[in-house]
Amino acid sequence: MADSYDFPDIQERLLALEEAFADHNSYRFKKTMAELRRAVKMRANTTALAQAEILDSRKETERNRKQCVDLQAKLKTVVDRFEGSFTAFEKFRKAIRVVELMRSHEDLPAVLDRIKELFGLRAVSLLLDAGEYAPFEPPGARLAEATALRKGLAALMPKATGPGPFMGSIKAVPDPGFFFGPGFCAERKVLLLGSCFIYPLRDKFGPQKLVGILSFFDSNPDRYTSEKGSEFATHFADILGYTIVDVTDRKKAERLREDVERMTRHDLKSPLTAVLTLPQLLRRDGNLTERQNDMLSLMQHAGYRMLHMINQSLDLYRMERGVYELSPQSVDLLPILDNIAGELRGVIEATDLSLEVTVRGRARAEDDVFAVRGEEMLLYTMLSNLIKNALEASPAGAKATVALTEGRTLDVAVHNAGVVPATIRDRFFAKFATAGKKDGTGLGAYGAKLIAQIHGAKIAMATSEQKGTTVTVAFPKPRTPEKTVAVRAGILK
């Protein structure tokens, strides 16, 4: 800063002062001395000013340095929060996906374990309303009466005016055992310094209705505090509660449907009794023509067929529930196929189709036998459904085949030239899966699958434009007496 001023050269003034002294020129000496003093004073002032400016500059630099440090710290805090929020969002997104895949109450233990793993929690607990969920006995969740749930929340958050969460120290929870289980405190004495998130689950169709309580616990006392946001956690808890409600409603609907179906089957049997007994009563009176007797026989036959269908639907219902008890015996499938062919003769002739049966790779002979272990009526139903489906899917004038082959298993392959529509190939054996059939119910292949499974058989479908469609049922071979003895002796497996 001093270099910007035009100062006299002090060295030159000193030389001029020496010359004036040497010449004994007092006037010049005094004048030079005065100029020298002014120059020194100006130089001193300039130096002081420069030092003051340097000091101010240093102070400004220090202030700027401190501001930079503060800005760096704030920026790091913002970045850390962003990264933490992004990481938390990713975890909650994965957890939400896990919950969305939940299809039944039996999935709850796996869902809760996955949540615990994703969020790195020490404990996850789910309390549900006993009045609503006791009939379903959901695994992985504890049950409590609705009054107990409300009382526990009121004690935890006495000043709460809405359905918000509790976030704070576990020491602030009046009864941790209620929210986390009776053994929580005994097993985690050291962990009672941690923090928790406790949230009341509401019914999405009625927010005033309390479904249950979801609780998270972490040993870190700063994990859940009242100062921190809870948007991710509350949103996730809401989705879990809504999913539990949806699963429960679906189960209620299934039980209602099952009850209605069971009552309908039962009620159908009452009027059917009259249909079956009326032909017998009319025959006792006599005076009937041959045509009238035939018509009564047809009526009685139709009644027995309807009774068989009702009983069969009851059997399928038991199979769905896994409570059907099979009474197997050796059954020859060839007479069953003959009866099915006779029953479907009208369909075959009306569409100019043909049905061919082969046994062990050759045309069927009169003395052929192809026996499997099972129940005759169930096997009749299964094969009738598969063959009827094959005929209905065949192009006019085509041939459907039933091939009985024997290898490691006893296989029944029903083939037709048609192709299964692409829309139902992946769910061909699913309940109510049907396409392109005017009066199709989607129960034929589904019932065949249940019957095959109850017999210990495997059923599969293959379809293509070139080869048509084949449904194969592979029955296990009956054990011979010698093999049974060997298995019991531990020689074979």
What ranges make up the beta strands (E) of 333-467? 354-359, 362-363, 371-374, 399-406, 409-416, 458-464
Q: How far apart are the first and last CA of the chain?
A: 103
According to the model, what pLDDT value does residue 444 have? 77
- Whether the CB-CB separation of 173 and 193 falls below 8 Å is answered with no
According to the model, what pLDDT value does residue 1 have? 42
According to the model, what pLDDT value does residue 192 have? 66
- Tokens for 165, please give them: 């969460």
- Whether the CB-CB separation of 165 and 236 falls below 8 Å is answered with no
According to the model, what pLDDT value does residue 45 have? 83
- Residue 187 belongs to what H/E stretch? helix 184-187
* Cα 247 to Cα 10: distance, rounded to the nearest angstrom: 99
- Whether the CB-CB separation of 231 and 204 falls below 8 Å is answered with no
Return phi, psi of residue 201, to 5°. Answer: -85, 135
According to the model, what pLDDT value does residue 6 have? 44
* Cα 203 to Cα 128: distance, rounded to the nearest angstrom: 12
Q: Angle formed by the axes of helices 444-454 and 290-321, to 10°?
A: 60
* Cα 192 to Cα 168: distance, rounded to the nearest angstrom: 12
**Residue (of 210, 207, 199) closest to 133 by Cα position:** 210
Q: Which DSSP category does 102 fall into?
A: -
Q: Is 69 exposed, middle or buried (0-12, 13-18, 19+ CB in 10 A)?
A: exposed
* Cα 430 to Cα 445: distance, rounded to the nearest angstrom: 8
* Cα 48 to Cα 8: distance, rounded to the nearest angstrom: 18
According to the model, what pLDDT value does residue 260 have? 60
Residues of the chain with pLDDT under 50: 1-6, 190, 482-489, 491-493
According to the model, what pLDDT value does residue 262 have? 64
> CA–CA distance from 424 to each of 146, 390, 450 (Å)?
44, 15, 18
- Whether the CB-CB separation of 446 and 452 falls below 8 Å is answered with no
Q: Angle formed by the axes of helices 26-100 and 108-119, to 10°?
A: 170
